[in-house]
Amino acid sequence: MKKYKIGYTQGVFDMFHVGHLNLINRAKEQCEFLIVGVNSDELVLSYKNKKTIVGENERVEIVANIKAVDKAVISDTLDKVVQHKKLQFDAIFIGDDWKGSERWKATEEELAKIGVDLVYLPYTQGVSSTKLRVVADNSVEEN
C-alpha cells in the first residue's frame, strides 16, 4: 500500500535528464496517482528571467509519456496552495536540495494547514538543466 493517494511534483523539466527521472520515479514510489506540473514558458521567464530551450507543449508531452506519470499539466503558478485547489493532492515531492530554504519552509507551513505533506526526495548530484545549457551554449560557440 502506498503512503499517499495523489502526489504532485512540479518543475521546468527543460532538457530532461536523469535527475528529473529520478525525482518522478521516487515520487511515484510513494503515491498511487502522480500528477506532474510542468512550468509554463511564461512562468519560467517570470522567475528565472530566461527562456526555456524546449517549449512547454513539448515538455509536457515528454513528461506525460513517462511510465511513472499518471497525469501531466502545464502550471502557471509556483503557489502550491493554488495548485492544490485545482488538483487535490495529498503530498508534494521536491528535491532535498531545497530543504531548509525560506521559500519551502513557508510552503510547508501553508500546506500543513490544509493537510498536505511536503516530502523531500534525494537530489541527484552532478546533473542539472542549467549545467547542460552551459555545455550546449559553449559547444554552439565553438562551431
49-61 average pLDDT score: 95
**% of the chain residues with pLDDT over 90:** 79
Kindly report, residue by residue over 21-35, the tens digit of the pLDDT: 999 999 999 999 999
pTM score, whole prediction? 0.87
- pLDDT for the residue 15: 87
CA-based radius of gyration for the chain:
15
Q: What is the mean pLDDT of the chain?
A: 90
Does position 140 have pLDDT exceeding 50, yes or no? no
CA distance 62 to 81: 25
- Nearest residue to 83 via CA among 5, 7, 4, 3: 7
Does position 83 have pLDDT exceeding 60, yes or no? yes
CA distance 66 to 141: 33
Contact, 63 vs 35, CB < 8 A?
A: no
Q: How confident is the model at residue 137 (pLDDT cuts 50, 70, 90)?
A: low
